Amino acid sequence: MINSTPNAFTLEQRGELTIVTATPHIESFEFGFDEEAAELIMAPLRTQDVPLLIFDLAAVDYFGSVFLAILLRCWKLAQARGGSMALAGVSDRARELLRLTSLDTLWPLYASRQEATEALLAD
């Protein structure tokens, strides 16, 4: 099943850094869309020696298990290739979900895309 949400996110490549900017469309992701979305995001990561990935969630209030699955898959790929992943602009509501699932211990959370970019590129 493919969700009719083609504008759920945009990908931006800045050298070794990939920035995924999510839109409010991810709040209504349906089961089955995670495979397609994860593949779109992971494709450029597979070509990088040490992928650095930022999910900019500033425009998103909340997300569910389907998007969490995408985050996990992308993080696992980045980790396997010696890279890292961070989340930026996470709302209070989404932070609570990450805390309840203990995923806030896996990914650093930054207030802005700029902070996340500086942190990942400094490592």
Residue 29 lies in a domain: yes
**Domain span at residue 118?**
9-122
pLDDT digits (tens, 9 = 90+) for 29-53: 776 677 788 888 888 888 888 999 9
36, burial (CB in 10 Å: exposed 0-12, middle 13-18, buried 19+)? middle
Quote the CA–CA distance of 4 and 33 in Å, as a whole number. Answer: 9
Residue 1 lies in a domain: no
CATH of the domain at 94: 3.30.750.24
Q: How many domains does the chain have?
A: 1
pLDDT digits (tens, 9 = 90+) for 70-111: 999 999 999 999 999 999 999 999 999 999 999 999 999 999
Instruction: Tell me how many degrees the CA angle 12-90-70 measures, rounded to the nearest 5.
Output: 60
Residue 74 lies in a domain: yes
pLDDT score at 8: 84
Residue 2 lies in a domain: no
